[in-house]
């Protein structure tokens, strides 16, 4: 039997059908993503974290107020990450800033398919000083995911902005969490590529401790020095060394050691929002 070639009309119909199917799939993906972000925003708004006393700053990636609108397109360079805490949001105080580069970009689908900031190379976001001033005692939460194989070389998630050896920093490698103040304190903990974590770090000098994706028992405790947090460098140390390669989605800072119940509340919120298993969460 002689094979018949498709006519121009038949080809047009086939292409039209394929186009309609593709458009339907893309619309469906868009609807799912919009619904996911709306749910995350609802969690954020209703979390009551704003009611915990002593909040210094709160950076997250789903609220409209977190970024300039034109920087919320996938793979856009991020130059501003805004603090959404009550004292900052209206006047955009405590904004983390960067010179536009491909080393700090907005990823529409990051941790738990929610937006994240992707850090590569020497990319950092910085704040020279918190408008509230420096803090000597504080609690920091950070949600992150390494996107490369984690080696024995430390990668710095965040650091103070500049200056003294007494400034504070959090770093990870394949087998340890390292907290640096007047000296380095290592806590045994494995970190893996493409795995998401929540770190809660308390600086309270003699009673300092850190929790990694858990709310009950500390991952490690140590006697800290007289440190301070004068500003913030995110994605590397203050000298743009020991850079982190991966995603960061949320950072919350308080200027005191918050209570066990408050820590549990924040960790539970972050675990639910980013689908990270947190031992002892609600």
Domain that holds residue 192: 51-274
pLDDT at residue 31 is higher than 80: no
pLDDT of residue 9: 61
270 shares its domain with 187 = yes
pLDDT of residue 25: 47
Q: What CATH number should be reported for the domain holding residue 192?
A: 2.60.120.200
140 shares its domain with 66 = yes
18 shares its domain with 74 = no
Q: Kindly report the pTM of this predicted structure.
A: 0.89
pLDDT bracket for residue 223 (50, 70, 90): confident
Domain-located, residue 58: yes
Residue 25 near residue 33, CB atoms below 8 Å: no
Look over the chain and give the mean of its residue pLDDT values, rounded to a whole number.
Answer: 90
Domain-located, residue 1: no
31 shares its domain with 111 = no
Domain-located, residue 281: no
Mean local confidence (pLDDT), 245-262: 96
86 shares its domain with 24 = no
35 shares its domain with 57 = no
Domain-located, residue 197: yes
Percentage of residues in the chain having pLDDT higher than 70: 87
Read off the tokens for 122: 């020497």
Contacts of 188 (CB under 8 A, 6+ apart): 175, 176, 220
Mean local confidence (pLDDT), 195-203: 96
pLDDT at residue 26 is higher than 50: no
73 shares its domain with 100 = yes
pLDDT bracket for residue 273 (50, 70, 90): very high
pLDDT of residue 136: 85
pLDDT of residue 267: 97
pLDDT of residue 16: 66
16-30, 73-87, 110-124: least confidently modelled range: 16-30
pLDDT at residue 4 is higher than 60: no
Domain-located, residue 279: no
Render the chain in DSSP notation, one character per residue: ----PPPHHHHHHHHHHHHHHHHHHHHHHHHHHHHHHHHHHHHHHTS-GGGSTTEEEEE-SSSGGGS-GGG-STTEEP-EE---STTTTTTTTT-EE--S-TTEEEESS-GGGS-EEEE-TT--EEES--TT--BSSEEEEEEEEE-S---SS-EEEEE-SSS-TTB-EEEE-SSEEEEESSSEEEEE----TT--EEEEEEE-GGGEEEEESBSSS-SEEE---S-BB-SEEESS-TTS-S---EEEEEEEEESS---HHHHHHHHHHHHHHHT---BT--
pLDDT of residue 224: 82
pLDDT at residue 81 is higher than 50: yes
88 shares its domain with 12 = no
Number of domains in the chain: 2
Domain-located, residue 193: yes
pLDDT of residue 79: 98
Contacts of 276 (CB under 8 A, 6+ apart): 111, 112, 143, 196, 197, 198, 213, 270
32 shares its domain with 153 = no
pLDDT bracket for residue 101 (50, 70, 90): very high
Domain-located, residue 187: yes
67 shares its domain with 204 = yes
Domain-located, residue 75: yes
pLDDT at residue 7 is higher than 70: no
124 shares its domain with 170 = yes
pLDDT at residue 24 is higher than 80: no
103-112, 114-123, 130-139, 248-257: least confidently modelled range: 130-139
56 shares its domain with 112 = yes
pLDDT of residue 206: 82
Mean local confidence (pLDDT), 124-137: 93
**Which among 273, 257, 17, 240 is positioned nearest to 124, based on CA atoms?**
240
Mean local confidence (pLDDT), 10-18: 65
């Amino acid at each position: 039997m002689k094979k018949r070639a498709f006519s121009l009309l038949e080809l047009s119909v086939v292409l039209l059908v394929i186009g309609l199917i593709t458009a339907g799939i893309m619309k469906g993906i868009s609807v799912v993503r919009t619904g996911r972000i709306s749910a995350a925003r609802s969690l954020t708004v209703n979390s009551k974290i704003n009611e915990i006393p002593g909040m210094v700053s709160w950076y997250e990636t789903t609220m409209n107020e977190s970024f300039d609108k034109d920087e919320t397109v996938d793979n856009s360079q991020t130059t501003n990450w805004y603090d959404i805490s009550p004292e900052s949001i209206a006047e955009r105080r405590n904004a983390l800033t960067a010179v536009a580069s491909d080393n700090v970009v907005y990823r529409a689908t990051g941790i738990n398919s929610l937006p994240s900031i992707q850090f590569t190379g020497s990319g950092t976001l910085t704040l020279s000083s918190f408008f509230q001033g420096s803090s000597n005692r504080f609690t920091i939460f950070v949600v992150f995911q390494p996107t490369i194989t984690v080696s024995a070389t430390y990668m710095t998630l965040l650091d103070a902005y500049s200056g003294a050896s007494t400034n504070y920093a959090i770093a990870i490698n394949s087998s340890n969490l390292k907290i640096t103040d007047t000296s380095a304190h290592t806590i045994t903990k494995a970190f893996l590529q493409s795995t998401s974590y929540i770190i809660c770090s308390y600086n309270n000098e003699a009673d300092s401790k850190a929790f990694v994706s858990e709310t009950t028992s500390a991952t490690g405790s140590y006697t800290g020095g007289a440190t301070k947090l004068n500003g913030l460098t995110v994605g590397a140390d203050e000298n743009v060394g020991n850079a982190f390669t991966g995603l960061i989605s949320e950072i919350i800072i308080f200027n005191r050691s918050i209570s066990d119940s408050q820590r549990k509340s924040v960790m539970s919120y972050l675990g639910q929002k980013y689908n990270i298993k947190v031992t002892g969460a609600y």
